[in-house]
Amino acid sequence: MEFIEDKIFEGIKFQEEPLAKAEYENCVFKHCDFSSANLFEFKFSDCEFIGSNLSLANISKTAFRDIKFKECKLLGLHFEHCNEFGLAFSFENCQLDHSIFYKTKIKKTNFKDSQLKEVDFTECDLTESVFENCDLNNANFDQTILEKVDLRSAYNYSIDPENNRIKKAKFSIQGISGLLNKYDIKIEN
pLDDT 10s digits, 151-181: 999 999 999 999 999 999 999 988 877 887 7
User: pLDDT confidence of 59, banded at 50, 70, 90?
Assistant: very high
Query: pLDDT at position 121, please?
Result: 98
Rounded to an integer, the average pLDDT of 25-43 is 97
Return the percentage of the chain with pLDDT > 70, whole number: 97
Best CA proximity match to 142, nearest among 129, 130, 132, 157: 157
Rounded to an integer, the average pLDDT of 115-131 is 98
SS3 of 151, please? coil
Of 13-22, 99-108, 160-169, the least confident: 13-22
Rounded to an integer, the average pLDDT of 74-100 is 98
**For the residues of 51-94, what is the DSSP string, one character each?**
S-B-TT-B-TT-EEESEEEES-B-TT-BGGGSB-TT--EEEES-
Identify which has the larger pLDDT, 125 or 176.
125
Query: pLDDT at position 17, please?
Result: 85
Share the mean pLDDT of the chain: 95
Rounded to an integer, the average pLDDT of 132-140 is 98
What does pTM read for this prediction?
Answer: 0.94
Q: Are 40 and 18 in contact (CB under 8 A)?
A: no
